[in-house]
Amino acid sequence: MFCDFGLQILDSEPGEGLAKQRGGARFAPPPASESQLAKEERPVSVPRHIAIIMDGNGRWARERNLPRIKGHERGAESVRAVTEACVELGVEYLTVYAFSTENWKRPKAEVAALWMLLEHFIAQEIPTLMKNGVRLEAIGRLRELPESCQSALDNAIALTAGNKATTLILALNYSGRTEIIDAVRTLCREALAGAITEAAIDQDALSQRLYTAAFPDPDLLIRTSGEMRLSNFLLWQLSYTEIYVTQKLWPDFGKDDLRTAISEFNKRQRRYGGL
């Protein structure tokens, strides 16, 4: 199937058969027709996993003299649009940084409003997720979430578990450092119980104990609103990820911006430390 901006996707159905392919972005064969060849000088790849730091909701609201929560609400609409685009393009995994462990430091009213918005979004999106074949997942210290949000999340995860297109992973009460600490604690417990030897603790062993054990590392990280930092997001998993930063504020980020980011990704040469 060809997408409207010229990226070629291997599968006839969104996400179909993609789980079989491991190890990063998929490279499509050259376009078939001459006119397509003129447009595309080389094969184009779609990242298998895209991670996003959704920044700039507050600034978007301030520019419009609106309360910050209005920016988060518009940000939720961008999540919906970008998830849909990922399904259309055949991106297998989309991870969005929705609430960091540091976000608890924000004013109580904003924190409460954010959790209400997240709970509302999770519950309200189920029909759309089902229609588009999106499986919902979450990473973070989830037992510390407000209880009603945990229930909504558990329910949506269970209902969408069989969906085969894009997996949308919400990073909630997440930080890369706490994730690594939690994984190290798991390894310590297993070592003390005699279930793992010191020699068996390698990169794979640690990766398998991260919240993301079931997902491949991101191929592309997108950060909106211009800041050049990782903000404690997926610190282990982003080791070889291509980074794309745009000045656009998250509520203004849409499907076309995702396509631009993927086009930029296609200009990168990924060498993983080799030549």
> Would you name the residues annotated as active-site residues?
55, 103
Residue located via tokens 């078939």: 32
User: Is 90 an interacting residue with respect to ligand FPP (CB under 6 A)?
Assistant: no
**121 belongs to the binding site for ligand FPP (CB under 6 A):** yes
Our finding on whether 69 is near ligand FPP (CB under 6 A) is no
Per CB under 6 A, which region of 24-32, 69-77, 86-94, 176-184 contacts ligand FPP? 69-77
If binding is defined by CB under 6 A, does position 96 make contact with ligand FPP? Answer: yes
**CB under 6 A: which stretch of 30-38, 116-124, 126-134, 154-162 binds ligand FPP?**
116-124
Element (H, E) at 111: helix 108-132
223 binds ligand FPP (CB under 6 A): no
The 3-state secondary structure of 212-227, one letter per residue: CCCCCCCCEEEECCCC
Q: Which is nearer to ligand FPP, 36 or 128 (CB)?
A: 128
> What DSSP letter does each residue of 193-248 carry, written as one string?
TTSS-GGG-SHHHHHTTSTTTTSPPPSEEEE-TT----TTSSTTTTTT-EEEE-SS
Q: Cα separation of 245 and 266, whole Å?
A: 15
- How many residues belong to the site for ligand FPP (CB under 6 A)? 18
Q: Which is nearer to ligand FPP, 44 or 82 (CB)?
A: 82
Per-residue tokens: 253: 């980020």
Rounded distance between C-alpha atoms, residue 85 and residue 88, angstroms:
5
The answer to whether residue 55 forms part of the interface with ligand FPP (CB under 6 A) is yes
**Which positions touch ligand FPP (CB under 6 A)?**
54-59, 72, 75-76, 79, 96, 98, 103, 117-118, 121, 170, 250
